[in-house]
């Protein structure tokens, strides 16, 4: 199963970040939260979280899956980190699992032209849908090869369970 990285940036949506962390850990996965800034990160609702690691202190190649939560400006802050974008690009090309929810499919993946050959969903804001263009699927969770995307916090649990299904693991509820 390997290691899964959940990336955090100031302004992240806590349901979209912490639901996968919880569900994957219940399923026995090794999950690390990785900040693209300081180790203490603040969510959109001012919840402070201490990440396991900062991005400059890890080798992204050691991870078998990446999770990109949404939230604004969290998704925008993720999209500004070159090491993360390079890591996501390499992961997609290496058929490693990449997961993005809410704004991140548009603001991170589409913005950096990382959706070639994939379909995705995102938060149903007109600007985000426009960014996905003909890649957009109007569903709550979309699985397209090694890419799993979801439309927002209302789908955080379904998103997390779909990641478990993809990995062949079951959460212990």
Is residue 99 flagged as an active site residue? no
**Residue 39 burial (C-beta neighbours within 10 Å; 0-12, 13-18, 19+):** middle
Judge contact between 125 and 132, C-beta under 8 A: no
Cβ 107 vs Cβ 81: under 8 Å? no
Q: 3-class SS at 12?
A: strand
Selecting among 99, 102, 142, 164, the annotated active-site residue is 102
97: how many CB neighbours lie within 10 A of its CB?
20
Kindly report the backbone phi and psi dihedral angles of residue 38, in degrees, each rounded to the nearest multiple of 5, phi listed first: -75, 160
CA distance 70 to 122: 9
Alpha helices in the chain (DSSP H): 14-26, 74-79, 82-93, 104, 126-132, 156-167
Asked if 132 and 138 touch (Cβ cutoff 8 Å), the reply is no
The residues annotated as belonging to the active site are 102
């Amino acid at each position: 199963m390997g290691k899964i990285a959940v990336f955090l940036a100031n302004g992240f949506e806590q349901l979209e970040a912490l639901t996968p962390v919880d569900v994957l850990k219940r399923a026995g996965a090794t999950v690390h939260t990785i900040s693209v800034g300081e180790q203490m990160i603040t969510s959109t609702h001012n919840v402070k979280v201490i990440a396991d690691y900062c991005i400059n202190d890890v080798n992204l190649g050691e991870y078998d899956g990446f999770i990109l939560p949404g939230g604004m400006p969290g998704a925008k802050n993720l999209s500004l980190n070159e090491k993360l974008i390079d890591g996501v690009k390499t992961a997609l090309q290496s058929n490693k699992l990449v997961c993005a929810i809410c704004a991140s499919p548009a603001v991170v993946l589409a913005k950096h032209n990382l959706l070639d050959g994939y379909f995705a969903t995102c938060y149903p804001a007109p600007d985000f849908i426009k960014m996905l263009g003909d890649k957009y699927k109007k569903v709550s969770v979309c699985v397209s090869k090694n890419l799993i995307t979801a439309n927002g916090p209302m789908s955080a649990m379904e998103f997390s369970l779909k990641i478990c299904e993809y990995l062949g693991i079951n959460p212990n509820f």
